[in-house]
Amino acid sequence: MADKIDVLLIAGLLPAIDEKLSTTYTVHRHKPDAVPPDVAAKVRAVVTTGNMPPSLFDTLPKLEIISSVSVGYDGIDVTKAAAKKIPVTNTPDVLNDDVADLAIALMVMASRRLAAADRYVRDGKWLAGAMPLTRKASRKKLGIVGLGRIGKDIARRAEAMGMTISYTNRRAVADSPYSFIPSLIGLAKENDFLVVIASAGPDATKMINKDVLEALGPDGILVNVSRGRVVDEVALVEALQSGKLGGAGLDVFEDEPRVPAALLAMENVALTPHIGSATIETRAAMGQLALDNLAAWFAGQPLLTEVSETQTARVAR
Amino acid sequence: MTEATPSTKDIDVLTICQLLRPAEERWIGSRYRLTCADKDAVPDEIAAKARALITSGLDGAPASLIERMPKLEIITVNSVGYDLVDMKKALSRHIPVTHTPDVLTDDVADLAIGLTIMTSRRLAQADRFVRAGRWTKEKFPVAGKVTGKRMGILGLGRIGRAIAKRAEGFGMQILYTDRAKMDTPYRFLPDLVSLAKESDFLMVASSAGPDAKHLVNAAVFEALGPDGILINIARGSVVDEAVLIAALQAGKIAGAGLDVFEHEPNVPEALFGRDDVVLLPHIASSTRETRSEMGRLVIKNLEAWFTGKPLVTPTPETLAMLANR
């Protein structure tokens, strides 16, 4: 039997996936800046979760493929990978359901104040009287910022709650039953809930600003399940404090894992620690897809989910 | 609401309802002689002359109170559930009972889905984790997926169906049990234990009654299993709470999302420290929008009765009684 292929693992994986990886490959576990030279000389693949220091391109002469167990890959220099014709694979789509589930939960949690309600019971406050009334979620108007795959998954779930759905996007989505509103301010003004699921390009930074939040208004609720930097967090805190915005459900923050102290004391917000895809089932599916990409590569078969940047560069030759 | 009828000003109405919103209470007060009292301290004088009683599902109407009200003509319940109204006593005196179905269905179903996701994904725990500043030191554990799971619904009435419709949006497979098989696309199972065995989420959405007490018992938890989650948005009495706590402690089920409890507002302290439960203070219908709708239904029923028109939302037993008269 031929020697196992050497793989460098620079991130933690679900135990079941780690075990599968170790069965097929010789797995080396080192910090990226502390890979022993004898290991570096033979590593043919890197397995990671969205990040890889560019120095590894130089320290790993035999590197053929980077398999990332993540959707995002902003932490991997794909331009450099493309130049070196090294494919980068990620794990898109398998986590869409989880993110959509969380978005709906955050909407209901923020409008019905369910995290606050759980604290109300645990703190014994119910014994002194009923919790104040909250706001209804069903049949409200939902505006989606970014009608990609996850945006559509959120819309389908919201439809089952009788919500009216509109969206904004770079351009109108063909065949979409939902109404397209070109401006973000217009979308915010029109809706009760604003859910941000836009892919976070550089031009999206602080896109949800003071004006958008004020257009959403004192009964409006903002939900962010994309990237923290899409929302101007200082403006968000200010709008919540002044009552210009009704509430928020946030899974992502500008400077994770740091969350603005002012938010921690608010009853009209639901806060979760970037767990959009954090389920056992989905992490297993993501890990399996990363393994399948590696297996395809070393069997000389087409990759399943290569990122567009390296794919384009490799096809060009 | 309706054209003024001069006689209603002289009608004594008693409310023991804690759920009536100020706007509706004021409106009733402007049309009737309204007295508000604590359900356990209704003065004899008002009990003697009140012709209508406004109550809620939580406050009920015990036989002892109905007996003290010789002039009582109608009971309007500002809730969908009326299991704490002594229906036998009311019907024996031909007193109709109205409730507030449908208007709160959306809210209850929203809460049911919210609780399901919160329990499976551990979202109340996640919110506590962030607020306690733990995120800077540790990683939040991975939780259980929601989409594509099997939801077993106990009681496929109006609320059960509204929950099923939402669960379909999450790609769930829907199963149910009820008194009889219904004309639905969902799979019927003849008993609760079989339902629990085939479900990832067991949703209690049945109406409460004496025969529903402790329907969810040790055998049901055993069948639901170590990956199963119980959600109760119906009535606390349907679940054997002591057995539930034992099942959670022994890891026989994975978690529970509860809006209702056996002895509200008392919640067993054994649940307070647990991260596998989500605990809500019976708020399934407590939105401003819905409470106003419910209050308006109470008013419509009162108005209908005292102007000799058909009741808007009588309970099924009341409807049968009126038909037989």
Write down the H helix ranges in chain A.
Answer: 15-24, 37-40, 55-59, 78-83, 96-112, 114-122, 149-159, 184-190, 210-216, 233-241, 261-264, 280-298, 308-316
- Residues A244 and A240: their CA atoms lie apart, in Å, by 6
Superfamily of domain B105-279 in CATH is NAD(P)-binding Rossmann-like Domain (3.40.50.720)
Q: What is the mean pLDDT of chain A?
A: 95
Collapsed DSSP state (helix, strand, coil) of residue B79: coil
Residue A78 has pLDDT above 90, yes or no: yes
Confidence of residue A71 (pLDDT cuts 50, 70, 90): confident
Closest Cα in chain A to B118: A105
**Confidence band, pLDDT 50/70/90 cuts, at residue A202:** confident
**Chain B contact for A62 (CB, 8 A cutoff):** no
User: B30: Cβ–Cβ under 8 A, 6 or more apart, which residues?
Assistant: none
pLDDT of residue A203 exceeding 90, the answer is no
Tokens of B69: 């009200």
Tell me which CATH code domain A6-92+280-316 carries.
Answer: 3.40.50.720
Query: Where are the domains positioned within chain B?
Result: 6-101+288-324, 105-279
pTM: 0.92
User: Does residue B55 contact residue B49 with C-beta atoms inside 8 Å?
Assistant: no
The pLDDT value recorded for residue B5 is 52
Decide whether B6-101+288-324 matches B105-279 in CATH topology. Answer: yes
B287 backbone dihedrals φ, ψ, rounded to 5°: -110, 155
pLDDT exceeds 80 at position A200:
no
Superfamily for domain range B6-101+288-324: NAD(P)-binding Rossmann-like Domain (3.40.50.720)
pLDDT for res A317:
56
pLDDT band at A3 (very low <50, low <70, confident <90, very high): confident
With the CA atoms of A13, A14, A19 and A20 taken in that order, what torsion angle do they form, in degrees rounded to the nearest 10? Answer: -90
Q: What is the mean pLDDT of residues B225-247?
A: 97
Residues 222-281 of B with CB under 8 A from A: 264-267, 272, 278-281
Q: Does B98 touch chain A (CB under 8 A)?
A: no
Find residues 153-172 of chain A whose CB sits inside 8 Å of chain B: 156-162
Q: Say whether pLDDT at B257 is over 60.
A: yes
CA-closest candidate to residue A214, choices A245, A241, A192: A245
DSSP B310: P
Which of B110, B136, B172 would you mutate first to test chain A, the one with the most A CBs within 10 A?
B110
Question: Which of A125, A138, A225 to mutate: most B Cβ within 10 Å?
Answer: A138
Mean pLDDT of B147-154: 98
Return residue ranges of chain A for CATH 3.40.50.720: 6-92+280-316, 96-271
Would the CB atoms of B266 and A136 count as touching at under 8 Å?
Answer: no
Better pLDDT: B31 or A3? B31
**List of residues 6+ apart from B188 with CB closer than 8 A:** B175, B176, B177, B178, B181, B182
Break chain B down into helix, strand, coil percent, rounded to 5: 40, 15, 45
- Per-residue model confidence as pLDDT tens digits over A218-240: 999 999 999 999 999 999 999 99
* Predicted pLDDT at A275: 97
The chain-wide mean pLDDT, for chain B, equals 95
Q: Are strands A75-76 and A65-68 parallel, antiparallel or unpaired?
A: unpaired
Express as a percent the part of chain B with pLDDT over 90.
93
User: What pLDDT is stored for residue A193 in this prediction?
Assistant: 98
In angstroms and rounded to an integer, the radius of gyration of the C-alpha atoms of chain A is: 22
Task: Write down the pLDDT at residue B207.
Answer: 78
Between A101, A115, A161, which is nearest B110 by CB?
Answer: A161
Residue B1 predicted with pLDDT over 80: no
**Region A17-22 average pLDDT:** 96
- CA–CA min distance B266, chain A (Å): 7
How much is the pLDDT for B6? 56
Express each pLDDT in B153-165 by its tens digit: 999 999 999 999 9
**How many Cβ pairs within 8 Å bridge chains A and B?**
174
**pLDDT of B284 strictly over 70:** yes
Q: What is the ipTM of this complex?
A: 0.92
On whether the CB atoms of residues A198 and A146 are closer than 8 A, the answer is yes
Question: Looking at the domain covering A96-271, what would its CATH class be?
Answer: alpha beta
- Structure confidence by residue, pLDDT tens digits, B55-92: 999 899 999 999 999 999 999 999 999 999 999 999 99
pLDDT in tens, A96-131: 999 999 999 999 999 999 999 999 999 999 999 999
pLDDT tens for A277-303 read 999 999 999 999 999 999 999 999 999
- The residue behind tokens 């402690």 is B249
- In one-letter notation, the amino acid at residue B253 is I
- Identify whether B264 is a catalytic site residue: yes
